[in-house]
Amino acid sequence: MAAAVLATINARYVHASLALRYLAANMGELQGETAIREFVLGQRPADVVEQLLALNPRIVGFGVYIWNVEETAKAVAMLKRVAPEVVVVVGGPEVSYETGEQRICALADYVVTGWGDIIFAKLCREILAGHLPAQKIIAGEQPPLDRIAFPYGLYTDEDIARRFLYVEASRGCPFKCEFCLSSLDKTAWPFDLDRFLAEIGRLYERGARHFRFVDRTFNLKVGASLRILEFFLERMDDRTFVHFEVIPDHLPDRLKQAIARFPKGSLQFEVGIQTWNPEVQQAISRRQDNAKAEENLAWLRNHSNAFVHADLIAGLPGEDLDGFARGFDRLYALRPHEIQVGILKRLRGTPIAHHTERFAMRYNPEPPYNVLATDRIDFATMQRVSRFARYWEMVGNSGRFRGTLPLLLGDAPFARFMRFSDWLYGAARRTHEIALERLCEYLYVFLTGPLGVERERAAQAIVRDYESSGAKGRLGFSQTGATTAPQSAASGRRAPARTQRHFHEA
């Protein structure tokens, strides 16, 4: 029997929940009676409930996020129907704001808002002692960071062997970008670095090599950033991989010198550009030196081995399609390995809501609350941008079409890929579940048709890319003269598939 079970529904199995492990690590005397259960999107609610009830819990705590709120609500509804005596507590960013509007909050017995590390354990003690709090909404408590027990010892050997390990050297963010929940933070709070690195060292000794830092501003304090980079450089082997989210316009020379020492395939940076438009930046309270950000991106691509993933957001208040297109082309010219085209989402609690009327922002009422139209981009055009984003993931970000992309994009990347996106949707009538071979056929038809690329040239580029990806089939348009990709095109270390963090990231 478990006194408490901590549960969440992850986007994929490979994502190990850092939040659940924090809660479990801070349960005090109840830790031995606390179990963690993680599920993945697509599992039947009945199966989730069955596995939870098999532990005979008194309390079940669910971590709720933008990507799992709908499926979690179904599980909570079923759990309360078949086992009403089990106390259900929900917490997480999705239920920390606007609680009165949410079905899952109505279904749960208690809702913890904000920081739950300490308050969840207190709530469990009260419930188990029979002292049920009168209020349903329990405000989180933000203690000094040295009072929070680290969770890293709760990563299992299977987690280390098979999953992404999420870690954090700091919490919070000093910046006020209105689309982000971190804009509500007063500042960033660092954990004691000696204590933190000792924990990461123990993980490393257990065989952990894949670390994803969830710090919103890893390079905010250069001294701390350097110590962390040096920690990994001293232990570097051919399996080490570290992911950081960095501020784009803050890359001092001391940091560059350390970054330049990382071998290929060992370091990944998530660089949030979001928009290059100064007027839009000002409207959403985003501070960014565009010239410095551009300079730093160019340096990362030309003078380091780091894998660069850059973010842009479409649908921001005050930005039209032409402005976003210029921003995409400007970013593409800097050659990041990936460009994630995100669609603005109105995350619950974020200040972006105050622009709703002025810019006629119309959001999806259901998760992920993506913007559907603005005064600058109508609904039909926003649908086109959404398809552009999906197809860009399949073609531009997949890494499978390195030789084909230059033929497809030419000297007008956004305009030509939007043309391809419109054409592809007209031909396929879908944005998902397009087999690689079929996608190659579509690319060939578009290149040799609307774009007028010579057939043999298009075929050779696509076939080389197809074979370099490791695919073994045969493409219908394959020409006799199409050559097999050279070994060098497929060799070398690749950065692991990137995570779905900050749904944003939903």
Query: Residue 368, preceding bond cis, omega within 30 degrees?
Result: yes
Domain ranges of the chain: 4-145, 164-377, 400-506
Q: Alpha-carbon distance 65 to 93, whole Å? A: 6
Distances (CA, A) of 276 to 217, 273, 279, 459, 466: 19, 7, 9, 36, 34
pLDDT confidence bin for 1, thresholds 50/70/90: confident
Contact 257, 222 (CB under 8 A): no
Instruction: Indicate the pairing of strand 267-274 with strand 241-246.
Output: parallel
- Does residue 282 carry a pLDDT above 60? yes
The one-character DSSP state at 117 is T
- DSSP bridge pairs for 308: 269
At residue 162, φ and ψ (nearest 5 deg) are: -125, -5
pLDDT digits (tens, 9 = 90+) for 315-343: 999 999 999 999 999 999 999 999 999 99
Give tens-digit pLDDT for 421-472: 999 999 999 999 999 999 999 999 999 999 999 999 999 999 999 999 999 8
- d(CA 129, CA 134) in angstroms, rounded, equals 14
Q: Decide if 212 contacts 499 (C-beta within 8 A).
A: yes
Distance in angstroms (rounded) separating the CA atoms of residues 122 and 251: 42
The CA distance from 463 to 444, in Å, is: 10
- Quickly state the pLDDT bin for 476 (edges 50, 70, 90): confident
Alpha-carbon distance of 347 to 98, in angstroms, equals: 10
When computed from its CA atoms, the radius of gyration of the chain, rounded to whole angstroms, is: 24
Q: What is the mean pLDDT of the chain?
A: 94
d(CA 342, CA 315): 9
- Strands 110-113 vs 137-139: parallel, antiparallel or unpaired: parallel
Q: What is the pTM of this model?
A: 0.92
Level-2 CATH architecture, domain 164-377: Alpha-Beta Horseshoe (3.80)
- Within 10 angstroms of residue 483's Cβ, the number of other Cβ atoms is 10
> Does domain 4-145 correspond to CATH entry 3.40.50.300?
no
For 355-381, write each residue's pLDDT tens digit.
Answer: 999 999 999 999 999 999 999 999 999
**Beta strand 307-314 with 267-274: parallel, antiparallel or unpaired?**
parallel
